[in-house]
Chains A and B, each alone.
Chain A
Amino acid sequence: MDKLVCHTAAQVMPMPYLVPLSHNARLSKVFLPGCAAGNTENNTSLQKLEAYRNELELNRQLLAETCSIARVGGWYCNLITKQLTWTPGAYAIYEKPETYEPLCETLPQLFHPDCREQLRNSIEMALREHAGWELEGKLLFENGRCKWVKIKGEPVTGPGNTLIAYKGFVMDINDTMLEKIENNRYREALEVRDQLLNEVGAMAHIGGWKVDLQTRRLYWTREVFRIHELADCALPSLDEAFAYYTPKSQMLLRDAVKRAQDYLIPYDLELELITATGKKIWIRSIGKTILDENGKAKALFGTIQNIQDHKIREAQLQEQHNIIKEQKERLENFAHIVSHNLRSHAASFSVSLEVLPLVTEAEKEEIFHNMERISQNLHETLYHLNEVIKIKNDCRNALQTLYFSDVYEQALHVLELQIKKTGARISCDFSECYRVQHIPAYLESIMLNLISNALKYRHPDRVPEIMVRACKSGDKTVLAISDNGLGIDLQKNGHKIFGMYKTFHSHPDAKGIGLFITKSQIETVGGTIEVESKVNEGSCFIITML
């Protein structure tokens, strides 16, 4: 150090103009006499020396303070004398009293066993290669406490480029190191958690989101991007995010978000989302409000889950449920026919037979006549039973393209006699829609039954007028058969019009099975039937087909 300071001063001397102005006064004493020769030389040298010493002391103090603040110490290891010298800063770091004598050999002992090997290796390698070395290691104190330090050594070469010493510093990096370790641990935990969140999210198709109500900024987890089929770089704006939903879902969501924001009501909705690639999927969106310290809504957060698979399964389940329900209904109807109608005929037979021996000849004649009628009815019931059984659940593969005009003509042909008898005027209009996918036997039966009903329940005071029309409603086909007949009181009988054995007119031909079978045939192919009617004005049966 001394050498360095002297050297610097010597260099500065011929260039006084480089010295800061504030020092001029003091330095002028030093330099000006230097320009003049004479007996004052000794005196000025002493003064000079004094000044240097002061300066040196000042610097030393400054250095010691700086070292203490920076928690740095210096060291010097003479390779020839094997003498290791520490500055006070180093003593402070190693926490050794000033009486302690540092030794190169025992230095590794001051370190934690985990670091000793590394320290020795670094030093040995540096010695071999005449290179510098650097190490971060843990000091171990007697009470088991550890302290992280960084040591750096630089080779010092003597004449002839021989390695004579190493010098360097030791630095207390315990705080930063511990912080770093803590940070690393924290980051690792965070990374694990983030990864876990993403993977779990991907597995369950659940993503998280948050929206800051003040800035209206939106945050998404990776899975939310995946659900939207978006690259997870550009976060959309709130309005852009809303735009991914179908109009109806968007309305629901906006409403729910508003309520969450204004009234802090959480929501849980199933919505339809259109992804970036145009796929329509079902998602479940859950949202909750985060409050600020004043209890006001600060942000919203929640989850978005892709429930498309779930929805598909639900739909399949529903379909299966419907099939089972239909089958159950058919079974019940079957049981009903067996239980009620077959039994009813059997009961009549039985009563007739019982009374037979008790009555007069003329009455016997009547009873035989009755039994004949029962027998006929029995046949008819058996036929209906057969019709009900024939309606199968899954006969959609039996669908064919049918032309309404063909089916219509055929029905008229079958009903020729009744049409002539009643003088009915029947017309059709298939110009808007002339064909449909249906099962031939069913559509024929539906057409025949409805026209036949219109004829059967004609109004006695007027000529029957029947109109058969087909049209398109969206992607569905609608067949409407209207008449000017008796009409049905829907208020009273609407709920059972398509039920089995329900008749609303005391008409001799009324059997109450036709509309039931017609309805079954329509529903089997996924259609629906409705009726509009006014008593004494007429009825209109509307069939909607897939």
Chain B
Amino acid sequence: MNTKVLTFLVDDDAAYLYGTRKLLEYHKLCDTVLTFGNGRQVADFMKEHLYDKERTPDYILLDLEMPVMDGWQFLEEFLQMKPLLGKEVKVYIVSSSIDDRDKDKAKSISVITDYLVKPLNSAGLREIFKPAEQ
């Protein structure tokens, strides 16, 4: 592995962020994990480091319901940034919503790799990072 794998966790639930980060670190599924409390925070961070490959994530695990800027709104901004990003970014929706409307909406957005329902356990997380491990 030449480059370090960077993962962004975006969720307004601090306990969830903490737990998931610990799991990722423990299983060494990626090299660096950064956590954000809402869409605004992660969008601002990405805009700031737009051309910095080191700080552009390989994975974004995105919650939908968040204050200030929710997952959908972030995706709108992300779509504008995408052509300027130096690498392929895989976006996973990780939401507790089991509403089909959310799932269908996610399917209609091309940049979303998959829609996953919380909670993600160790096995679930491994599935996401499998290609990176190989």
A347→B97 CA distance, assembly (Å) = 11
Q: B99: CB under 8 A from chain A? A: yes
Q: Which of A339, A351, A358, A501 contacts B16 (CB 8 A)?
A: A351
Flag whether A324 is at the interface (Cβ < 8 A): no
B22 contacts across to A, CB distance below 8 A? 355, 358-359, 363, 367
* A347 to B19 alpha-carbon distance, docked (Å): 10
How far, in angstroms, from A433 to B56 measured CA to CA in the complex? Answer: 59
Q: Looking at the complex, which one of A339, A348, A503, A506 makes contact with B13 (CB distance below 8 Å)?
A: A348
Q: Confirm or deny: B38 has a beta carbon within 8 angstroms of a beta carbon on chain A.
A: yes
| A346 close to chain B: CB less than 8 A | yes
Please determine whether B96 and A343 come into contact, CB atoms closer than 8 angstroms.
yes
A350 pairs with B15, CB closer than 8 A:
no
Q: A351 near B23 (CB under 8 angstroms)? A: yes
Contact of A512 among B13, B26, B67 (CB under 8 A): B67
Query: What's the minimum C-beta distance from A156 to chain B, rounded to whole angstroms?
Result: 109
CB distance from A62 to the nearest CB of B (A): 106
Complex contacts, B20 vs chain A, CB 8 Å: 351
Give the docked Cα–Cα distance between A352 and B121 (Å): 10
A504 on the interface (CB 8 Å rule)? Answer: yes
Q: Is A41 an interface residue (CB 8 A)?
A: no
Task: List chain B residues, Cβ under 8 A from A504.
Answer: 67-68
Known A-B contacts A339-B99, A340-B97; A350 and B18 likewise in contact (beta carbons under 8 Å): no
B residues within 8 A CB of A350?
119, 121
Q: Is there a chain B Cβ closer than 8 Å to A366's Cβ?
A: yes
Given A348-B13, A350-B121, A506-B67, residue A340 in contact with residue B96 (CB < 8 A): yes
A392 within 8 A of B: no
In the complex, the chain A residue whose C-beta lies closest to that of B97 is: A340
A153 CA to B20 CA in the complex, in Å? Answer: 126
Which stretch of A85-93, A368-376, A447-455, A457-465 is in the interface? Answer: A368-376
Q: CA A359 – CA B97 in complex, angstroms? A: 28
Interface bracket on A:
20 to 34
A343 and B40 alpha carbons, distance in the complex (Å)? 24
Question: Across the interface, do B15 and A374 meet the contact criterion of CB distance under 8 Å?
Answer: yes
The answer on a CB contact under 8 Å between A354 and B67 is: no
Q: Is B58 an interface residue (CB 8 A)?
A: no
Does A355 lie within 8 Å of B67, measured CB to CB? no
Does A505 belong to the interface (CB within 8 Å)?
A: yes
Q: Is the CB of B18 within 8 A of A370?
A: yes
Report the minimal beta-carbon distance from B48 to chain A, rounded to whole angstroms: 18
User: Are the C-beta atoms of A339 and B98 separated by less than 8 Å?
Assistant: yes
- The reply to whether A355 and B15 form a contact with Cβ atoms under 8 Å apart is no
Chain A residues with CB under 8 Å of chain B are 335-336, 339-341, 343-344, 346-348, 350-352, 354-355, 358-359, 363, 366-367, 370-371, 373-374, 501-506, 510, 512
14 further A-B contacts with Cβ under 8 Å, apart from A336-B97, A355-B23, A370-B15, are: A336-B99, A339-B97, A339-B99, A340-B95, A343-B98, A343-B118, A346-B119, A347-B120, A351-B15, A358-B22, A358-B26, A367-B19, A370-B19, A512-B67
A-B contact pairs, 28 of them (CB 8 A): A336-B97, A340-B97, A341-B96, A344-B13, A344-B16, A344-B65, A347-B16, A347-B118, A347-B119, A347-B120, A350-B121, A351-B19, A351-B119, A352-B15, A352-B18, A354-B119, A354-B121, A355-B26, A359-B26, A367-B19, A371-B15, A373-B14, A501-B65, A502-B67, A503-B68, A504-B67, A504-B68, A506-B37
Q: Which residues of B are at the interface with A, using a C-beta cutoff of 8 A?
A: 13-16, 18-20, 22-23, 26, 37-38, 40, 65, 67-68, 95-99, 118-122
